[in-house]
Amino acid sequence: MFKQFDKLYGIDLGTSNTVIFEKGKGIVLNEPSVIAYNQKTGELLAAGEEARAMIGRAPDHVEITYPLVNGVIANFDKTSRMLQYFIKKIQGRPSFFRSSQIYISVPCGITNVQKRAIEETVVHKGAKKAIAIEEPIAAALGAGLRLDEPVGHLVLDIGGGTCQVAILSLGGIVASHTIQRAGMSIDRNIIEYVKRQYNLDIGERTAEVIKQQIGTASISIPERTLDIRGRDLMEGLPRSLRLTSSEIYTVVNEFLGTLVDAIRATLELCPPELAGDVMEQGILLCGGGALIEGIDERIRTETGVAVHIADHPLECTALGIGRMMGVQVSKSRPIKQEEKTEETAM
């Protein structure tokens, strides 16, 4: 079936992170979905980790941007240039998936026009064929769920730009709900909290570190502290500040309320039999947001439904696409050191 294509690739194209799976090799790239380019010349300077390292440190003529917004491609030219950069990194040459078939993940609920636009963009750039796969289905397969049975599964994918709640059965999506808030919105809320509470201006990377190191979804977890640095808004000078995990809990707590409301709204849309299946099977958590400490216990308490976190929540979608290619993927696959970029997608 696949012999007509030189290579098979699966791309989990996320708002904050891009993961690429190559048939025969497994996951070959896991980097932030960010690019840096020179506004004067239009030259692409860097993408992925290299571009992310420039955030908050680049001169005015260097623009650093995320070409995807809320899980959807906002700028097709910048997205294709970012993917070309990644392919050159993988293959050693800038050919854009020439003679390849591409499976690319898309958020559930987007229109057919948006799906076709993504597929046509990939084909226009050199691929022989492109197939859009809805993320919750790929994530469920990547976590090892059986979707070919008449049994309901609830998948909660907490990404960088969106949170997707989907109830799956017989290989399709029965009901779904998407909210335009996720890991990156928590970062923005942390920035606003520190600014409002302490008159201290901090950057995106500092906010992300705060979320990763002392962010929590449970007030009962032992208190932790973190020393950060920023610019004093009153004096205009650098200043240090010590934050506590209980403070960040108040920021995360509002987001969690929205998340639980989305789960309830999705369950209200599904047939009673599938709701019963969800009670029995539990909720599968994946995406970078699943790494927030105590989030599984918090959702379990709020909904009364068991919650399971996928073995590799950041890589679930890419691994699921690999299974769609007929690749046997081990759930306990050791992650290489260079693949450990969980901090970039929470």
Q: Is 46 annotated as a binding residue?
A: no
Residue 210 assigned ligand-binding role = yes
Indicate whether 248 and 326 sit together in one domain: no
pLDDT at 333 over 70: no
Tokens at 129, concatenated: 């064929």
- 165 falls within a domain: yes
Q: Domain check: are 287 and 215 in the same one? A: yes
Tell me: pLDDT of 42 over 80: yes
pLDDT of residue 94: 61
Q: Cα-atom radius of gyration of the chain, to the nearest Å?
A: 20
Q: Is the pLDDT of residue 254 over 70?
A: yes
> Has residue 113 got a pLDDT over 70?
yes
Q: Is 290 annotated as a binding residue?
A: yes
Is the model's pLDDT at 334 over the cut of 60?
no
Tokens linked to 211? 């979320």
Q: Which pLDDT band, with edges at 50, 70 and 90, does 72 fall under?
A: confident
98 within a domain of the structure (yes/no) = yes
Number of structural domains (the chain) is 2
Residue 89 shares a structural domain with residue 35: yes
Instruction: Say if residue 342 carries a ligand binding annotation.
Output: no
Residues 216 and 114 in one domain: no
pLDDT band at 328 (very low <50, low <70, confident <90, very high): low
Domain containing 14 equals 7-139+315-344
Which range, of 94-98, 152-156, 185-189, 283-287, averages the lowest pLDDT?
94-98
Same domain for 321 and 292:
no
For residue 340, the model assigns a pLDDT of 40
Mean pLDDT of 45-68: 93
Q: Is the pLDDT of residue 206 over 60?
A: yes
Of 105, 181, 113, the closest CA to residue 137 belongs to: 105
Rounded to an integer, the average pLDDT of 127-153 is 92
211 is in an annotated binding site: yes
Instruction: Examine the domain organization and report whether 303 and 323 are in the same domain.
Output: no
Q: Is 322 annotated as a binding residue?
A: no
Q: 213 and 114 share a domain?
A: no
1 in any annotated domain: no
Q: Is 288 annotated as a binding residue?
A: yes
- Residue 158 counted as domain residue: yes
User: HEC string of the chain?
Assistant: CCCCCCEEEEEEECCCEEEEEECCCEEEEEEECCEEEECCCCCEEEECHHHHCCCCCCCCCEEEECCEECCEECCHHHHHHHHHHHHHHHHCCCCCCCCEEEEEEECCCCCHHHHHHHHHHHHHCCCCEEEEEEHHHHHHHHCCCCCCCCCCEEEEEECCCCEEEEEEECCEEEEEEEECCCHHHHHHHHHHHHHHHHCEECCHHHHHHHHHHHCECCCCCCCCEEEEEEEECCCCCEEEEEEEHHHHHHHHHHHHHHHHHHHHHHHHHCCHHHHHHHHHHCEEEECHHHHCECHHHHHHHHHCCCEEECCCCCCHHHHHHHHHCCCCCCCCCCCCHHHCCHHHCC
What average pLDDT does this structure show over 208-217? 95
Q: What is the mean pLDDT of the chain?
A: 88
The CATH number that applies at residue 39 is 3.30.420.40
What per-residue string of b and e applies to 2-20 under the rule 16 or more CB within 10 Å gives b?
eeebebbbbbbbbbbbbbb
In this structure, the answer to whether residues 17 and 159 fall within a common structural domain is no
- pLDDT-based confidence at 93, cuts 50/70/90? low
pLDDT of residue 337: 34
Structure-model confidence comparison of residues 78 and 95, the more confident one: 78
Same domain, 203 and 94: no
Residues in the chain: 346
Residue 131, marked binder: no
Asked whether residue 2 is assigned to any structural domain, the reply reads no
In a domain, 13, yes or no: yes
Quick one: 71 and 192 in the same domain?
no
| Claim to verify: residue 161 and residue 116 sit in the same structural domain | no
Q: 158 with 298, same domain?
A: yes
